[in-house]
Copies of this chain bind each other. A is one copy, B any other.
Amino acid sequence: MLRNDFYTPEVQGDYRLHGLGDFELEEGGVIPDLQLAYATYGELNEAKDNAILIPTWFSGTHQTWEQVYIGAGRALDPSRWFIVSINQIGNGLSTSPHNTDGPVAMSRFPMVTVGDDVRAQEQLVRELFGIERLALVVGASMGAQQTYEWAVRFPSKVLRAAPIAGTAQITPHDVLFTQALMDAITSDPGFAGGEYASNADVDAGLRRHAGIWCVMGLTTTFWKTEFWRGIQVGDTTFDSREDFVTNFVEAVYTAMDPDALVVMGRKWQRGDVARHTGGDLAAALGRITAKTFVMPIDTDMFFPPQDCADEQALVPGSELRVLPSICGHWALFGWEQTYLDAVDTALRELLDTPV
């Protein structure tokens, strides 16, 4: 095991672990004693019909959801809903290459799929809370992949679904994008085939990884308008583009575990609900019975609205709600009140829709 303070409760906020035992994976192999890191907000009611599940995005944790999307007076209000946010396998909090010993440590970590995550999440909410049906699954980016997977794999368990800024089936463009992200890391000699002694050994590769995110995660308008001047992270503000790149984007990614990012990148590349239907996307999305709002971000450069709309058209009874932002994909960080209001408006309407 490698020590990495970034994944501690001191940095990420409180979370708990739930052990699922030895967990068999779709593409072969087993994760011994799989631990999922999760956090809950609110109380499960007696009927157990007020549960909302939130999976996490690439490199993300439950914490951003807690800070940006959940709260009193918000659509995701813990006074009304019992919200469970579960960190995806390999994200650094749940069982991941750096925080386990033995047969799946570091470069030996097996290939994990979005389907594995969703099966594990289903087991967790059933075992821990006895939840058989979810009022809503909502996730963004890779969380949208998991949201679609939930709705296709367990139609009777998902009453409503809100995939934000993501697709049910990986696009070829996203395969190339994620490959460029991973190549930036794995090409660093310090990566040593995934057997580095510290994430600091991969500092240069992680910075290049961060550099590609600056280009694809944020739009030309974000940079041109110096939107970063209005961003505050804790007590920190930024007084130049270089300051923002170095002390926000690079600082975050260099704190992360390289193997974790690679595990998530490979998982992202394989996200495809059509695995259930012999490659027939329409058939897979046709299985969804959840009331579904498909919510792309209008300026997203790698999950553009058109790709999301193409899938939405295949989901029975679904609706398209395009979220406004000048930031691109990283609108997800919630820097714009107009964006947050649009998310809340859509989620409120979805949650108020009888199913």
The residues of A with any CB-CB pair to B shorter than 8 Å are 171-177, 179-180, 183-184, 187-189, 204-205, 208, 211-212, 214-216, 218-224, 226, 241, 245, 301-302, 304, 306-307
Contacts and interface: CB of A to CB of B under 8 A. Distances in A.
Contact of A187 (B188, B215, B241): B188
6 contacts: A176-B215, A176-B245, A180-B215, A216-B216, A220-B302, A221-B306
Given A171-B223, A176-B223, A179-B211, 12 more contacts: A173-B220, A174-B220, A176-B211, A176-B214, A177-B215, A180-B212, A180-B214, A183-B208, A184-B184, A184-B208, A187-B188, A189-B189
Contact of A224 (B173, B188, B218): B173
B173 A215 contact: yes
Contacts of A307: 220, 224
Contacts of A223: 171-173, 176
A214 to B, nearest CB: 5
Contacts of A175: 241
A211 B301 contact: no
Contacts of A212: 180, 212
Nearest to A169: B224
A180 B217 CA distance: 13
Nearest to A220: B173
A219 B173 contact: yes
A171 B224 contact: yes
Contacts of A302: 215, 220
B224 A208 contact: no
A61 B174 CA distance: 30
B220 A208 contact: no
A304 B220 contact: yes
Contacts of A188: 187
A182 to B, nearest CB: 10
A224 B172 contact: yes
B211 A183 contact: yes
Contacts of A184: 184, 208
A217 to B, nearest CB: 10
A286 B315 CA distance: 52
B204 A187 contact: yes
Contacts of A179: 211
A330 to B, nearest CB: 13
Contacts of A221: 306
A215 to B, nearest CB: 5
A179 B78 CA distance: 44
A283 to B, nearest CB: 19
Contacts of A241: 172, 175
Contact of A180 (B173, B211, B306): B211
A307 B222 CA distance: 12
